[in-house]
Structure 1
Amino acid sequence: MSGAGKEEAVCVTGASGFIASWIVKLLLDRGYSVHATVRSLDDAKKTQHLLDLNGAKERLTLFEANLAVEGSFDSAVNGCVCVFHTASPVLFSANDPQAQLIDPAVKGTLNVLKSAAKVQSLKRVVLTSSMATVMFVSKIESGDVVDETWFSDPLFCEQTKLWYHLSKTMAEDAAVKFAKENGLDLVAINPGFCIGPVLPPTLNATSEGIMGIIKSGKELFSDGIYRLVDVRDAATAHVLAFENPEANGRYCMVGRVVRSLEIFKIVDGLYPSLGHSERLKDGKCVEPIPYSISREKAESLGVKFTPLEVSIKDTVESLKEKNFLRF
């Protein structure tokens, strides 16, 4: 889209999030001026780690914005060449899915895009979507290769009470329609379950989940299958999706699909004191993963996936450094 280092202005919504913080870091490293939105400028837990990034003093401006309020993002996106829209609630259970997940995801996305549509300098919007919008259908056949042509079935998500998946599916769908109708160039990034080093001082839902697996072997998903991607790879894909004029449509971002037993093996090899060897002793014969997820389109964008062992080690070291994980 443009050469880095031109100090062009770009906007990152929900900038204090797990992936978003890395996007802000990469953009600053590449010389962009970054307009970062947060829910409250008074919450140091959401802002200080951003203000401490290299280049932040010179090229980072924080804006307060609320997904629920139309026009809230106008000043943040003004003058920008790209908007990275990452802000969306991540909850794996909800008492009121409509209010807690669906409305903020769908209306929030449309509010950001309405602000973006007013900006003449804007070249592209990069949307943080999710694998939740890709592969949740009533049946996946053994040997299926999941790629960008797959779309989750909203009815299936509703019937199986996958509210987060439904919220992301509806938000991506609404974004694509709005972009078409309003002449916005939109690219979607669809990460799997993000692991890797944590920049914010607070734990996000996904890091909490991976910590549960590392610490106590607590399964997050009933089938014990994890579609993992390094958060740094997910963030890189966002930046490349802006910088590469050929980027289009959506990009599945999953480095590896593994069973939890494989995660335990890696953790046990790196950190035997965590005692996963006991768990591995009873490890049943691990059946092959019934499907695979294509990395082809992501790799064509220039993404080089981080090896899983490196991601897991960096996750543990980061959680230790922040005192979330002690052993």
Structure 2
Amino acid sequence: MSGEGKVVCVTGASGYIASWLVKLLLARGYTVHATVRSLDDPKKIEHLLALDGAKERLSLFEANLTAEGSFDSAIDGCVCVFHTASPVMFSVDDPKTKLLDPALKGTLNVLKSAAKVKSLKRVVLTSSIATVMYGVKLPESGGVVDETWFSDRVVCEEIEWWYNVSKITAEDAAVRFSKENGLDLVVINPGYVIGPLLQPTLNFTSEGFMSFIETGKDVFPDDINILVDVRDTATAHILAFEKPEANGRYCVVGDVVRASKIMMILDNLYPDRGYSLRYNKDKCVEALPYNVSKAKAESLGLEFTPLEVSLKDTIESLKEKKFMNL
């Protein structure tokens, strides 16, 4: 197994992407140091402790994003840090306290701890497509967005897209700190993440997607959804560490689809639910205004899960965990 004998750290390990990352790392033979906000919360740790290989190769650490030095013990002796911990919310009454400070301070605190560790080979940062293509003029129909695109922070601030601002700020700070301190940083920029849940609680993105499925309410404006499977996202993180040539940013987006296309797929999967009533087939022929390049992510060896599989696995997982009835 590729990870045998290697120790890595995953921050925010109880989260949606991070739980899958821990699972896949253990499956590859890695020893994992996983940080959570509280070791006393069974909802944060029980699903991690139940993973195959956890008994032998998983250690849990309590860490606070805003406390400098909090990650020292978890990162000590590691060859890689996967920094996934950052708040996810699109509507917030106090963006500085709840989003901006934890995202920025947390990233810098993790990197400061990482910079002390001589064994460390690389840091893989979970960023977002939010740092790539918002507040900028998107390409004409048939155009392609790729890793050379950067969201406009000023525009995002003006229209109060605070989640985007938090990710832009954190990614910028991480790149700057890593250059100044000699850290090898690779950044993963996933789209809107769907797929099965490992954790017992309903995460923000799955809740949003469930609302869209149940009510037809769209997740993003213009009926366009920039989607990626959670398992592909976790795998991209691992490949970003394992491939020595990995560098810079990686857009990780499986599909850019209109809501109507999703409803058509759901109609085929669950024909008795009446999804066909939610879209006008005449509108489904309209070309998508842009796409997001898969080329750099695929150069790592990443293979994307078909959208139909992701959608079905998302719904079946939500059903299994009693979050939705279908």
Name the TM-score, length of structure 1 as normaliser: 0.97
- Counterpart position of 1:159: 158
- Counterpart position of 1:310: 309
Distance 1:271 1:9, change over 3 A: same
- Once the two structures are superposed, the pairs formed by residues 1-327 of structure 1 within 5 Å of their partners are 4-142=2-140, 143-281=142-280, 284-327=283-326
Q: Is the 8 A contact 1:130 1:191 kept in 2?
A: yes
Q: Deviations over 1:154-185 (max 9, x none)?
A: 10111111110010001000000000000000
3-state DSSP of counterpart to 2:221: coil
Q: Deviations over 1:85-122 (max 9, x none)?
A: 00000010111111111111011100000000000100
3-state DSSP of counterpart to 1:223: helix
3-state DSSP of counterpart to 2:222: coil
Q: Tell me which amino acid in the other structure corresponds to 2:46.
A: Q
Q: Deviations over 1:277-317 (max 9, x none)?
A: 21135764552111111000000011000000010011111
TM-aligned CA deviation for residue 233 of structure 1: 0.4
TM-aligned CA deviation for residue 219 of structure 1: 1.3
Distance 1:283 1:56, change over 3 A: farther
Q: Which moved more, 1:211-220 or 1:254-263?
A: 211-220
Aligned-residue sequence identity (percent) comes to 69
Q: Distance in 2 between matches of 1:287 and 1:153?
A: 28
Q: Tell me which amino acid in the other structure corresponds to 1:12.
A: V
TM-aligned CA deviation for residue 212 of structure 1: 1.1
Q: Deviations over 1:7-38 (max 9, x none)?
A: 21100000001100010001000001000000
TM-aligned CA deviation for residue 194 of structure 1: 0.5
CA RMSD, Structure 1 to Structure 2 (Å): 1.2
Q: Distance in 1 between matches of 2:177 and 2:56?
A: 34
Q: Deviations over 1:27-82 (max 9, x none)?
A: 00000100000000011111111000000000000000000100000000000000
Q: Which moved more, 1:266-275 or 1:164-173?
A: 266-275
Name the TM-score, length of structure 2 as normaliser: 0.97
Q: Distance in 1 between matches of 2:75 and 2:171?
A: 20
Which stretches in structure 1 are left out of the alignment for 5+ residues? Answer: none
Q: Distance in 2 between matches of 1:225 and 1:46?
A: 32
Distance 1:149 1:281, change over 3 A: closer
Q: Distance in 1 between matches of 2:160 and 2:144?
A: 25
3-state DSSP of counterpart to 2:298: helix
Q: Distance in 2 between matches of 1:36 and 1:56?
A: 11
Q: Distance in 2 between matches of 1:265 and 1:47?
A: 37
Q: Is the 8 A contact 1:8 1:80 kept in 2?
A: yes
Q: Is the 8 A contact 2:3 2:25 kept in 1?
A: no
Q: Distance in 1 between matches of 2:280 and 2:186?
A: 45
Q: Which moved more, 1:134-143 or 1:30-39?
A: 134-143
Which stretches in structure 2 are left out of the alignment for 5+ residues? Answer: none
Q: Tell me which amino acid in the other structure corresponds to 1:316.
A: I
TM-aligned CA deviation for residue 217 of structure 1: 1.2
3-state DSSP of counterpart to 2:154: helix
Q: Distance in 2 between matches of 1:144 and 1:282?
A: 24
Q: Distance in 1 between matches of 2:293 and 2:284?
A: 25
Q: Which moved more, 1:109-118 or 1:268-277?
A: 268-277
3-state DSSP of counterpart to 1:190: strand
Q: Is the 8 A contact 1:215 1:274 kept in 2?
A: no
Q: Distance in 2 between matches of 1:283 and 1:44?
A: 49
Q: Is the 8 A contact 1:261 1:283 kept in 2?
A: no
Q: Distance in 1 between matches of 2:6 and 2:30?
A: 5
Distance 1:299 1:282, change over 3 A: closer
Q: Tell me which amino acid in the other structure corresponds to 2:109.
A: N
